[in-house]
Amino acid sequence: MLIKRNPNGIDIPFSSEITPSHVFESRRIFIKQLAIGSIAGGALAEMLAREAFAQSNGAKKLAAKSNPSYVVMDKQTAYKDATTYNNFYEFGTDKSDPAQYAGSLKSTPWTIAIEGEVKKPLTLDLDALMKLAPLEERIYRLRCVEGWSMVIPWIGYSLSNLIRKAEPTGNAKYIEFISLADEKQMHGVRSPVLDWPYTEGLRLDEANHPLTLLTMGMYGEVLPNQNGAPVRIVVPWKYGFKSAKSIVRIRFTKDQPATAWNKAAPQEYGFYSNVNPGVDHPRWSQASERRIGEDSFFTKKRKTLMFNGYSEVAPLYAGMDLKKFY
């Protein structure tokens, strides 16, 4: 298939080109019938059954309207992969730990405090947060600093909606996200791998960019604990660790906030951490990536795109040396 690109670099198909859901649903049924009927189909049928299972884990559904301006055409990562292969050090350093241990996180009730350089400091509960703006589904690429990537349908709305509501003062230049660090719920916090709580930050103009998504769900459901329930940030043009999970406080600041990974290893993880194939991590190249669940043993890794393909953010960094501000 030829994928068209508009000058902004977003893949927006004409609505006439999008396969209507009833058509592909019926194709799936056809494939299933075919699979069940054939000898070699046993494996295929099993695969489909597994997919069906993976898509419904019994989590609460979250209704959202797809926003076609933010839909990449890449194949979506399987729900199972996206929810069992996570970096969430509050639940352990192994990527299988979060799925195994995040059950102890109590994601309701939850409040999120908006404070610092704002005219209207406020504390919102989940219900208020969900109603602040219409929920949208957006399919974003996610590129981890470790060299792998996924494609995930998130549910949320642009963070700018919340920022507008809080009314930042003229002093506000940055925004800091502070994650929960409760050792009763998160056993990983007892280990000193990072300076808890996990903090992340953005420049205010980055935070206000429409791509920056305040996220409450994925795959049509509320966020699973291991993916940062109940509320996280998703900044698709930056390495995954910039997208803080399980956020309890958002602070507006005058100065650049200290961020968890930057404090831990400043030479490896910069404040900006934009996806950039031209700037290597000291221990590996960032020029290519492995797409989880798709690139098999026998495929070469795919090229990593500048800003993870979201070239519309480039003006935010006009005149900046991104090798220096990595």
CB nearer to another protein: give 85 or 140: 85
Task: Provide the token pair at 133.
Answer: 């703006």
Question: Which residues sit at the interface with another protein, rule CB under 8 A?
Answer: 80-81, 84-85, 93, 95-96, 148, 191, 193-194, 264-265, 268-269, 280-285, 290, 292-293, 297, 300-301
Rounded Cα distance between 292 and 104, Å, is: 27
Rounded Cα distance between 96 and 204, Å, is: 33
Minimal distance, residue 282 CB to another protein, in Å: 7
Neighbours of 89 (CB within 10 A): 23
CB nearer to another protein: give 205 or 294: 294
Minimal distance, residue 268 CB to another protein, in Å: 5
Minimal distance, residue 177 CB to another protein, in Å: 20
CB nearer to another protein: give 95 or 106: 95
Neighbours of 71 (CB within 10 A): 18
Rounded Cα distance between 112 and 232, Å, is: 11
Minimal distance, residue 189 CB to another protein, in Å: 14
Minimal distance, residue 273 CB to another protein, in Å: 13
Task: Provide the token pair at 51.
Answer: 């997919």
CB nearer to another protein: give 97 or 176: 97
CB nearer to another protein: give 109 or 282: 282
CB nearer to another protein: give 126 or 194: 194
Rounded Cα distance between 140 and 95, Å, is: 21
Minimal distance, residue 45 CB to another protein, in Å: 15
Question: Which helix (H) or strand (E) is 175 found in, with range?
Answer: strand 174-179
Residue 177: name the closest of 125, 228, 232, 98 by CA. Answer: 232
Question: Which helix (H) or strand (E) is 67 found in, with range?
Answer: strand 65-71
Rounded Cα distance between 40 and 176, Å, is: 54
Rounded Cα distance between 238 and 202, Å, is: 10
Burial class (CB in 10 A: 0-12, 13-18, 19+), 234: buried
CB nearer to another protein: give 145 or 233: 145
Minimal distance, residue 94 CB to another protein, in Å: 9
Rounded Cα distance between 214 and 17, Å, is: 29
